[in-house]
Amino acid sequence: MGSEKSAIVAFASASAADRRIAGVAAAARAVKALADEGGAEVRLRIGDGAPLSPATCADLERLRGPAAVVVEGGEGEEARPPSSWAIVRATGKPSDGLVSRWLNRPISQRITWLVLKLPAARPIHVTLVNAVLAILIVPVLLFGGQPGLLAGGILFHAASVLDGVDGEMARATFRSSPAGAALDSGVDMMTNLLFVAAITANLALRDRDAIGWVGGWALIVAVVGWFLIARRVRAAGAPLGLDLFKRSGRIGGAADLVFWVVQTLSSRDCYAFLFMLFIIAGHERTALIIFTSVATLWFLYVLASLLPIPRLFRGAA
């Protein structure tokens, strides 16, 4: 399609170049791919010589990077862009947990595929919808009684599924940014805290026993742990996120197995799904106790990871 310095990509018509593929004009996707390969100039040939749409021109300007783009009439090797579904399918993350990989992603990616058909849709719109959903969970749990517990558990899992959509949209349309990632993580934290606080209040008012203290402790360790992670991430100059201590790899022993279990159960996709299942089964108290236990182990790991390593042991490492 061209040399390292100059590249040519062609479309049979302007309408073919304007075609939206996962929220981005086909011409802009092709130009970005060539620019990423090192093309200093990309010649965009339009077979019918018609002008490109304003939306396509905007995508070209946003995605061309330092490459110069020349739009001209004529023929050439026609671009063969991937399908929208192929692009969306590639938006998963290596850090996805079990529930996210096998349940949430297949659902959220289909939602993303549909949402990206809306020309004006942006990742932040989905993030704001998730924020509204988080706020809605509170009155449902506080004033809904037993039916509210069921609805709240389902809404919490729905928010976990929908949480993947904004990130998938950002990766599919090349709109990822530190600010967007920080906003998404902030909404995630808010959703988690509001849900745990509201379900704790519901159970404490209903049962009037120590379950309120159990949920209260879960809130304390979650807030303090996230605060410590946020401080470390900010000091490193990275965007706010909760993946700081996630790791993958083979399980080589008992310690690795314990870490994998705690990491899996403390992933939002997992505990949101388990909360929903336990609530449906009528074991919401058990769900909160398990969550608090895992949160405590996670908090201890965060503390151990953030504490300075004694000088005596640094050489051995």
pLDDT at 314 over 60: no
Quick one: fold of 86-306? Four Helix Bundle (Hemerythrin (Met), subunit A) (1.20.120)
Predicted confidence at residue 317, as pLDDT, reads 39
Radius of gyration of the chain (CA): 24
Which of 134, 184, 178 is CA-nearest to residue 159? 134
The structure's pTM equals 0.87
Q: How confident is the model at residue 192 (pLDDT cuts 50, 70, 90)?
A: very high
Q: What percent of the chain has pLDDT over 90?
A: 67
Residue with tokens 């909360």: 275
Predicted confidence at residue 1, as pLDDT, reads 46
CB 149 within 8 A of CB 280: no
Rounded distance between C-alpha atoms, residue 90 and residue 107, angstroms:
14
SS3 track for 230-247: HHHHHHCCCCCCCCCCCC
CB 34 within 8 A of CB 66: no
Predicted confidence at residue 266, as pLDDT, reads 79
Predicted confidence at residue 48, as pLDDT, reads 93
pLDDT at 256 over 80: no
pLDDT at 312 over 90: no
Q: Mind listing the pLDDT tens digit for each residue in 38-79?
A: 878 999 999 999 999 999 999 999 999 999 999 999 887 788
Q: How confident is the model at residue 112 (pLDDT cuts 50, 70, 90)?
A: very high
Domain ranges across the chain: 6-73, 86-306
Average predicted confidence (pLDDT) for the chain: 88
Rounded distance between C-alpha atoms, residue 269 and residue 104, angstroms:
8
